[in-house]
Amino acid sequence: MFHCPARLHGPKQIFLLVFLLACAFPGTAFTSGDKTGILLVAFGTSVPEAATTLDHIRAAYEKAFPGCPVVMAYTSRIIRNKLDRGGIHVPSISEGLDQLAKNGALVVRVQSLHIMAGEEFAALARSLLLNIKGHPGRFRAVYLGRPLLESRADARAVARAVLGFHRKKGAAPEALILMGHGQEQGRADLIFEGARATFRENDPLVFMATVEGARTFDDMLKDLGQSHVKKVVLAPFMLVAGDHARNDLGGAEDDSWASRLKAAGYDVEIRLNGLGDVPGIDDIFIKHTKDSTDDLMLEPQKP
């Protein structure tokens, strides 16, 4: 039978205890003495009004994590290059991690500002892992916070926040049409359908479709026809009201959702508010940041 010498056994047990505490109470990372930095990651936008939505989210993080440096990174190289040409530099993921390291952060909490764990979120995780591999020992822990819609509880909280924002009590019945992004590969289609079902349980006059996902505008239009409402409110189901909201949803071209709905005889109102403008959405992201125990630097521990 193998016995560990006591002098080796002790420190190992202490290490294990500390490790378990850190896993069970990720909040300790904020008080353990290791400086924590926050990296918020969004696709990005070159629309200045939409960028103010991201500024509000950053401000909410600075309030929620006092004293922690908060950096916002954009993943879209096209958008970062476009902003650079106008004199605005927004860091990439790796530049954001560099900034936090320079700021003395030893623990990094990365928060995906994606709506669902689709292609963009998978790419974020891969970028982080490659970055950690390229800079061994730079950070002690890198936690990854999951996107907005992960659980049934998230879907309910999002529906509550969005309906609270858009629905006025006692108003005449009108349809609320939400435009999600979606992906051709179908990666987030099921999360989208789960969110749609949750919205419909709360309000049968919510109609949702995507720009690129399986559920199309035509599917939505068919559904809407059954409701016999005349007035429709359009809003993006995306973090910011950027290019998709201003062109594909509310644009003046014949093929925008607003134009097609007008052509179908509906009275259309466009609301250019991204989900990030809806009170309560930032709290869900912040909860995911605090709750994350996914330290990308540790091999997952299976019992």
Task: List, by residue number, the catalytic residues.
Answer: 181
Cα–Cα distance measured from residue 2 to residue 201, given in angstroms and rounded to the nearest whole number: 59
Cα–Cα distance measured from residue 142 to residue 81, given in angstroms and rounded to the nearest whole number: 27
Cα–Cα distance measured from residue 275 to residue 24, given in angstroms and rounded to the nearest whole number: 30
Q: What angle do CA 279, 151, 179 make, to 5 degrees?
A: 55
> What b-and-e string marks burial along 184-217, b requiring 16 or more CB atoms within 10 Å of the CB?
eeebbbebbebbbebbeeeeebbbbbbbbbbbeb
Torsion of CA 72, 59, 199, 145, to 10 degrees: 50
Contact yes or no for 233/269 (Cβ under 8 A): yes
**Strand 36-42 relative to strand 206-210: parallel, antiparallel, unpaired?**
unpaired
Cα–Cα distance measured from residue 229 to residue 11, given in angstroms and rounded to the nearest whole number: 68
